[in-house]
Amino acid sequence: MDIDFSPEDLAFRDEVRTFIAENYPADLRGKQDEGDELAKEDFLAWHRILHKQGWVAPAWPVEYGGTGWTPTQRFIWSEETSRADCIRLMPFGLSMVGPVIYTFGTPEQKAKFLPRILSGDDWWCQGYSEPGAGSDLASLRTKAERDGDDYIVNGQKTWTTMAQHADWGFFLVRTNPDVKQQEGISFLLIDMKTPGIEVRPIITLGGEHEVNEVFLDNVRVPIENRVYEEDKGWTCAKFLLAHERTGIAGVAGSKRGIEKIKAIATTEMDGDKPLLSNPFFRRKVAELEMDLTALEYTELRTLAGEAAGKGPGPESSVLKIKGSEIQQRITELALEAAGHYGAPYFRGFGEGDNEHPIGPDWAHRTAPSYFNVRKTTIYGGSNEVQRQIIAKMVLGL
């Protein structure tokens, strides 16, 4: 594809920059700069502003509320929101279940759920992983049994991101235990306020309540909330995971991360020379930039393919592998730059009143970020599994 920006693209970029500068919430910027844990309303504030503008779902078809932007414009949008360090919109409704519903859902499901995903009125979570069924997702054991016009769901999900805020969840459940694993799974939309659902927090090494366990005890779900055919939910699951893996690449965010590292590495700390004067550290940064540039071109080709009507294929596995590994390398370099100031036990310790942590401000979150980003090579299908997909679908092995 032609990656040179046309005059129209440059005008669009200026429009985006102006919009962000004039509309991104100042209080949200303050919380980000301070490294505060963001609440549900913080995430929804920017979401609702974009919904009002009509820009909340650039990748959706126009008939369902998408923008109609070209792949280049979508790339520019991603670049500019990362450049401005805008908060990331929660992907579970917009990037995961939304596309599943408008692709496989009934007209009634589309009318009920899609407008509320766009508006932010419904917050979604993902019920895929289970204890013992993470990367080997097809071995899941949460079961759904028919009872008249309902399913009765029993089981446990884990690592359920932001489930403590969720209004709805999309769940993979086993509806037929007597067939091949992938052929006995259904895709259900479940109201998280339904009796029998319990959400228990999992506190991360960084101290955040981001992920949860979800227990389902005789949860009654109307059959009308099943997307696609019974026992054919694996089709929806694969479709959703392909979109999720593409989003995990996070090229624009990684570019922003490298910029921050370079800014840190060009300043002196504790009287020492800037880190970029060290040839070994400088080489690591240069190699990271080269790998990210290669990944960026792959993402652009993927966007061009989607514009031509091709859904994400095995290239989404390439994006997921390289994108997640690059994200981890960025946090490793940040922690290396922070040195002892990145030690987790320094977080929150201050000079008398505990309000001023030891060392430079940028160093305080390097260790928690490092630990948190270890997950990127696992979720969305582990990188080992993605390499198997590439070997089978691309290399024919």
User: What is the C-alpha to C-alpha distance for residues 71 and 1, in angstroms, rounded to an integer?
Assistant: 10
Q: Which of 130, 210, 244, 315 is catalytic?
A: 244
The SS3 assignment for 106 reads: coil
Closest CA relative to residue 386, chosen from 328, 326, 298, 317: 317
Angle, helices 315-338/383-393, rounded to nearest 10 degrees: 150
Angle, helices 315-338/233-248, rounded to nearest 10 degrees: 40
Please check whether residue 113 is in contact with residue 105, taking contact to mean a CB–CB distance below 8 angstroms: yes
**What is the residue whose two structure tokens read 């995990």?**
248
DSSP 6-34: PHHHHHHHHHHHHHHHHHS-HHHHHHHHH
Closest CA relative to residue 160, chosen from 131, 185, 139: 131
Total residues belonging to the chain: 397
Please check whether residue 220 is in contact with residue 152, taking contact to mean a CB–CB distance below 8 angstroms: yes
Closest CA relative to residue 167, chosen from 120, 222, 109: 120
Would residue 244 show up in a list of annotated catalytic residues for this protein? yes
pLDDT at 354 (0 to 100): 47
| Domains defined for the chain, CATH in brackets | 7-89 (1.10.540.10), 124-231 (2.40.110.10), 249-393 (1.20.140.10)
If phi > 0 it is left, if psi is from -120 to 50 it is alpha, else beta; for residue 38 that is beta
The SS3 assignment for 397 reads: coil
How many CB atoms are closer than 10 A to CB 329?
A: 21
How many CB atoms are closer than 10 A to CB 280?
A: 7
Lookup: tokens for 234: 């694996």
Please check whether residue 171 is in contact with residue 185, taking contact to mean a CB–CB distance below 8 angstroms: no
The SS3 assignment for 232 reads: strand
How far CA 383 is from CA of 82, 101, 252, 268, 378, in Å, comes to: 25, 27, 20, 37, 6
Please check whether residue 155 is in contact with residue 216, taking contact to mean a CB–CB distance below 8 angstroms: yes
Cβ neighbours of residue 68 closer than 8 Å, sequence gap 6 or more: 62
pLDDT at 196 (0 to 100): 98
Closest CA relative to residue 128, chosen from 176, 179, 190: 190
- What tens-digit pLDDT sequence spans the chain (397 residues)? 455 688 999 999 999 999 999 999 999 987 776 667 789 999 999 999 999 999 999 999 999 999 999 888 988 998 899 889 899 899 999 999 999 999 999 999 999 999 999 999 999 999 999 998 987 899 999 999 999 999 999 999 999 999 999 999 999 999 999 999 999 999 999 999 999 999 999 998 777 899 999 999 999 999 999 999 999 999 999 898 876 666 678 888 899 899 999 999 998 877 778 999 999 999 999 999 999 999 988 887 877 776 666 766 677 888 889 999 999 999 999 999 988 888 765 555 544 444 555 778 788 888 888 998 999 998 877 888 889 888 888 777 6
